[in-house]
Chain A
Amino acid sequence: MKVGIGYANRKDSLLLGNEVAEKAIRNGRIDKPSLVIAFCHGQVDHEEYFRGLQAVIGNKTPIIGGSAIGIITNDWLSYEGYPAGAAVIESDSLRHKEAAAGDLDKDERKAGQNLAKKLSNSLDSKLILVFYDSIKRAPTATDPPVINASPSLIRGIEEKLKPSVPVVGGGVIGDYSFGHPKQFCGTYVGDQSVVGSLMGGDFQPYFRIMHGCMPKDGIYHTITKSNGAVINEVDGRPIVHLIDEQYGTQDWRCQRPVKRLTIGVNHGEKLGDFTEENFVNRLITGALPNEAGVVIFEPDLDEGTEFLFMLRNNKTMIESVRKNSAELMEEIVKNGEKPVFGLYIDCAGRTAKASDSLIEEASEIQKVFNKYDTPLLGFYSGVEVAPLLGKNRGLDWTGVLLVFAQGQITT
């Protein structure tokens, strides 16, 4: 497998596509591209960018991906201006099939089923790579955004494909205002769509989930009133008042998303030692204006769910990335394989800008990949999707690192 990474940042979207594709082909010494994974910032003209990529790569090679708040490669990390990046893959041994389904905003589960039906399970599947539209409804002056639910989408996919196949990918988002993003659906640019690539053949997928949250106080709370993505009451009290008490002020209500506090559900032993890998965190996208509740990024926490308030911590986040990415690469090498390409699906809330950090956590991933001389493409997402505790899940405020490994290293 040969992979070339291209990156550019310029206003002319067509030329942006040309430049990204040309650089990827040059860097990877690609002769016959078989698959392109591409992303671009929300303010790029996606159709023009797509056309620019196709002009160089040809229109027979499927292009999957979509909008991103920012791009990460081995040498670049940017969420300012018009950043765009692509990985062009050439491989005879990688078997893959791409498909897309629309109407995500109408029914996420059905969209997932439709996607899975088109993909079929005929390949010796090792992985499904999915990218989908995160935003069901863009925010208004008074209402936070409404998000397409990843659990329903994943359930739809799993109902039609082998549930044992890991689903890895992300919900795409193009800017911090939660405007409507676009998806690259193989041969066209879509919206309210999910695009997937079912992959098999001579490669091995490895992945790790990077966290960075820890329990604020270890006290479990129970959701006592909720409606979809809105949590109204906790322990019989309005959740907004509870959070006011925790902060000591009401200033947090202006934050979208809330910067330091998330909601974490422990899927491990309830009173066991804290293990970050056991937690699924949900970003609080904002408080409703009438104190009626808070909106979380995924509508998957029902009444009766026990959770902990989690504290987002930059130091923990960076340590988690440093440790997990290094360990993953070591594991691959230890297994006698060679990392050939890394895809980093990184929550947009983890940028230095959004998390008020002095260090970009993704720079830790760059260091590790440059040490192993492995091509890296990453993008800043809305939701990250990866298996956690044996189940495919939509995650928040995580970084999902997927590494394609191949071949045996002879000593």
Chain B
Amino acid sequence: MKDFKIVELEQNLEELKKQVEYYKKIAEQTGNLCLRETEELSKLLFLHKQSKQALQESEEKLRNIIEHSNEIFYVHDREHKFLYVSPKSEEILGYTPEEMMGRWTELITDNPINQKGIELLAEAIKTGERQEPYILELRRKDDDLKLIEIDESPIKNTEDKVVGIVGAARDVTEQEQAKKEKEKLEAQLRHVHKMEAIGTLAGGIAHDFNNILGVVLGNAELAMDDVPEWNPAYFNLQEIRKASLRARDVIRQLLSFSRRTDLERKPIRLIPIIKDSIKFLRSTIPKHIDILQNIEDTYDTIIADPTQIHQVMINLCTNASHAMEKIEGILTIGIHYVVVDEDSQLSVPDLTLGDYLKVTVKDNGQGIAPDVIDRIFDPYFTTKEIGKGTGMGLSVVHGIVQSHDGVITVESELGKGTSVSIFFPVVEKKVVTNKGSLNIR
């Protein structure tokens, strides 16, 4: 029989063991729960870090694309306040993104082409619809002008309301210049083809007509020998002869234009011939027109027909004087030596590389309207009143210049005057002084 106290102690011990087991179980469960929650939290943190990293990488990638693109990317709100401008702005426009944000409106020039862009932007903000790309002329920090193509899209909020604009701006200055240059070259090519076609036609007709006219004139003169002067028919024959002679002059002009006349080309000094022409012209051009000479003392030998050079000067100066009929005119005749290299060739694309004498006839008359300037070398094209010109003057000049392997250019501004430049290739250059460059002055 156990002592009561021992039994009690054994019972207490048993109870304590149970309690320890109970607490151990609780502690184990709590510990496991804590471990599992910590593990779960750890996984969540890992996922969070992973997605954060993925987002950072994605942002980095996007930023790289934006910052290394050739375009300026930007975002602005409805009030045109810029919220973002990519760093490319510094390269294209000379302004840092921060500078751009503050003063971009000052960059827009007053060029009328900008109006379309302003209207399209307003339309995009108003309607929320993407508009076609447009071109703005902007002024760089260094004052250069740039043509910028803008492509924009409206940004809408969840209520479909436009809250801003996201856009890309691309420098298209060079492309636009190249486009204009190409259009100009195409127009020149078309013009050359047209003049050649007209020249062939006119030359052919003139040749046949000249033969027929020879028969008419010869027979008229033979008939005049046979018909006495008192006979009224004699007067009629005289009129036939006069008309035939006038017709022969017209045919000569047509043949000059079509380059079918016989040339007497030989090495000549151009300056004395031009000076002779000026002397002659002084007596025929009205006194209210001053003739200024800007003739460079330079080597001036070209291969040419002196008579035709004379013809060129008379035709050009006569046209100039007609343009200055109603004003105190100034006719400036210049001769300069120019060297055409690869850089300067761009200003007159028809010229091949080499040395030229540039003869300029410039007036301060009424100028030529842009819509007709392409037609001024067409035979019989004239803007003069009836009786003041046949429309053959410039056609003849064009034909003569081409037959001398030269090039003719015309610059004109309405109300300010016209400048015609002719480039004659120089030959056998021995001594050249005061050599100029091809800046068309």
Q: B-contacting residues of A (Cβ < 8 Å)? A: 215-219, 245-248, 252, 259-261, 309, 311-313, 356-358
Contacts and interface: CB of A to CB of B under 8 A. Distances in A.
Given A217-B30, A219-B24, A260 B35 contact: yes
A214 to B, nearest CB: 9
A246 B38 contact: no
Interface stretch (B39-47, B78-86, B151-159, B365-373): B39-47
* Interface SS of chain B: helix
A261 B42 contact: no
Contacts of B27: 217-219
B24 to A, nearest CB: 6
25 contacts: A216-B32, A216-B35, A217-B24, A218-B27, A219-B24, A219-B27, A245-B32, A246-B31, A246-B32, A247-B32, A247-B35, A247-B36, A248-B32, A259-B39, A260-B38, A260-B39, A260-B42, A261-B35, A311-B35, A311-B38, A312-B38, A356-B42, A356-B43, A356-B45, A356-B49
Given A312-B38, A358-B45, A358-B49, 8 more contacts: A216-B35, A217-B31, A217-B32, A245-B32, A247-B36, A311-B38, A356-B46, A356-B49
B33 to A, nearest CB: 9
B188 to A, nearest CB: 58
A114 B27 CA distance: 48
B34 interface: yes
Nearest to A220: B24
Contacts of B30: 217
Contacts of B36: 247-248
Contact of A259 (B31, B42, B49): B42
A217 B28 contact: yes
A16 B51 CA distance: 32
B47 to A, nearest CB: 10
A224 B35 CA distance: 24
Nearest to A357: B45
A311 B32 CA distance: 10
Nearest to B49: A356
A260 B35 CA distance: 7
A311 B42 contact: no
A261 B31 CA distance: 11
B128 to A, nearest CB: 41
B161 to A, nearest CB: 38
> 4 tightest CB-CB pairs across the interface, nearest first?
A217-B31, A216-B31, A217-B27, A356-B42
A218 B26 CA distance: 11
Interface in B22-78: 24, 27-28, 30-32, 34-36, 38-39, 42-43, 45-46, 49
Interface in B365-403: none
A219 B42 CA distance: 24
A352 to B, nearest CB: 8
B49 to A, nearest CB: 7
A246 B43 CA distance: 17
Interface string B7-26: 00000000000000000100
A351 B225 CA distance: 127
Given A217-B27, A217-B30, A219-B27, A246 B46 contact: no
Contacts of B39: 247, 252, 259-260
A204 to B, nearest CB: 39
Contacts of B31: 215-219, 246, 309, 311
Contacts of B42: 259-260, 356
Contact of B34 (A259, A311, A357): A311
A311 B36 CA distance: 10
